[in-house]
Chains A and B, each alone.
Chain A
Amino acid sequence: MNGPTCDEVRELAPELALGIAAGEERARALAHIATCTECRTLVDELSREADSLLQLAPQKEPPIGFEARAVRRVGGIRPRHRLRVAAAVASIVLVSVGLTALVTESATRRDRDLANRYLALLEGRSSGELFATPLLTADGARAGQVFAYEGTSNWIFIVVQARSGRGVHDVVFTPRTLAASSTAGRIRLVDGRGSWGSTTGLDLRGLHVQLFDDKGKPDFEAILPLH
């Protein structure tokens, strides 16, 4: 089946921008704008217009105590003081040491077995969830693992075990729901080997992880699972 024309997409652009286009029609239009700069620009402009409409909603004083509850809610999903930060860092170091050792000997083990061992390692530390997903080269070859932990403090740990690769690579995260990317840190590879970990405030589900070399070329990537 042929994709929609630019005229058809422009016809639908207001509904796309308002987020109310549905089903097959929406999917086909989005596939078109992924490759058509002019239509994408139009939808982006209309999306900004649609978002600006929301500022017309009447302002309303929230209930008493709202601010304090909001601060607690945001503060409650991350470490709030040095002791908790230190605890999180210590936890990462401990888990990282364990993960690195496990990964080193895991070449012949099945992923499920490995994941069970990681979960056992984490048992008692928190009630969050652990993800493990392969790190791939640009041509799809396996080149290590990305581990992500979703709990009171989210963290990501990357283990690179590639055939080759050297020098400093930027670790870049792109959340599933946002187009913007951010550089989270740097990883130094020696003979294709290296590891890196950090806490993060980003939503881990569907997070796109990429490692860029010093010339900006994406050498390795992984997409964390949605579920």
Chain B
Amino acid sequence: MWAASDEALLAGLATGDAEAIAAFVRRFQRRVFGLALVIVGDPGAAEDVAQETFARAWRHAQAYDVRRGPVAAWLLAITRNLAIDATRLRRAEPKDPEEILALGLPEQGAGPDERAMIGDDVARLKRAIMELPIDQRRALVLAAFYGRTAREISDSEHVPLGTAKTRIRAAMLKLRSSFGVKGERTDLR
């Protein structure tokens, strides 16, 4: 079955046409709501975040640049930032990092089109994360999903600040090498 690309759906969203908006929302709503719920922990607050994500996406659709990454990653980054703001307002505590990763691959429950579009990259990414030492994995999830700083991770994990920074950096370095180094000159040392 033919399906429009994410970029095409985003272009449709930018037009403001009701059917195009609905198609865009339908494509991404499970991912956006799922991420919002993981971060804010409350379904009502998660819906607010998810709704605002789509409104922001519409407002910025014309400025989306494909060189900066796929539509899904761009949209989820908007979701993350809104959700982190919401958790700060609500003073919500982060879910245990291991719980996020234990909840299963994101394609569970998705339709066949969605599964095909998410592709193997996410599965590979998850495998790479699960191969990280648990301390590094926890630090990475706290930083990437909850926006926790190295200082906050140091406090919550009861380790020195330098250790928290090292865990974050080591995790990112390993993930990067898992997906291939793109250029010697920009390598982390």
Q: Is B144 an interface residue (CB 8 A)?
A: yes
Q: Is A214 an interface residue (CB 8 A)?
A: no
Q: Which residue of A lies closest to B119 (CB)?
A: A55
Contact indicator A70/B179 (Cβ below 8 Å): no
- Chain A residues whose CB sits within 8 angstroms of the CB of B183 once the complex forms: 41
Bin chain B's interface residue count.
35 or more
- Chain B residues whose CB sits within 8 angstroms of the CB of A59 once the complex forms: 30-31, 33-34, 106-110
A178 to B43: give the CA distance in the assembly, Å.
29
Contact with B along A8-21 (1 / 0, CB 8 A): 00110111011111
The answer to whether residues A42 and B55 also contact, given A49-B179, A56-B126 and a CB cut-off of 8 A, is no
Contact with B along A94-117 (1 / 0, CB 8 A): 000000000000000000000000
Number of interface residues of A (CB under 8 A): 57
A residues touching B (Cβ–Cβ < 8 Å)? 7, 10-11, 13-15, 17-22, 38, 41-42, 45-46, 48-63, 66-67, 69-71, 73-75, 77-80, 173-175, 177-182, 201-203
Q: Which residue of A lies closest to B182 (CB)?
A: A45
Contact indicator B148/A20 (Cβ below 8 Å): yes
A7 to B187: give the CA distance in the assembly, Å.
11
- Chain A residues whose CB sits within 8 angstroms of the CB of B168 once the complex forms: 14-15, 18, 20
CB distance from B100 to the nearest CB of A (A): 7
- Chain B residues whose CB sits within 8 angstroms of the CB of A21 once the complex forms: 149
Contact indicator B35/A54 (Cβ below 8 Å): yes
Contact of B18 among A46, A56, A57, A80 (CB under 8 A): A80
Contact of B100 among A7, A46, A57, A67 (CB under 8 A): A57
9 additional A-B residue pairs with CB within 8 Å, beyond A58-B108, A66-B33, A74-B25:
A11-B169, A18-B144, A21-B149, A41-B186, A45-B176, A46-B172, A59-B33, A67-B25, A69-B51
Interface of B is mostly: helix
A41 to B188: give the CA distance in the assembly, Å.
11
Contact indicator A66/B21 (Cβ below 8 Å): no
- Chain B residues whose CB sits within 8 angstroms of the CB of A71 once the complex forms: 18, 21-22, 25
A67 to B18: give the CA distance in the assembly, Å.
11
A59 to B38: give the CA distance in the assembly, Å.
9
Closest 9 CB pairs of A and B: A180-B65, A60-B34, A58-B103, A54-B76, A14-B172, A62-B33, A57-B35, A59-B30, A51-B73
CB distance from B179 to the nearest CB of A (A): 7
- Chain A residues whose CB sits within 8 angstroms of the CB of B140 once the complex forms: 53
Q: Which residue of B lies closest to A204 (CB)?
A: B59
- Chain A residues whose CB sits within 8 angstroms of the CB of B34 once the complex forms: 57-60
- Chain A residues whose CB sits within 8 angstroms of the CB of B55 once the complex forms: 73-74, 77
Contact indicator B63/A56 (Cβ below 8 Å): no
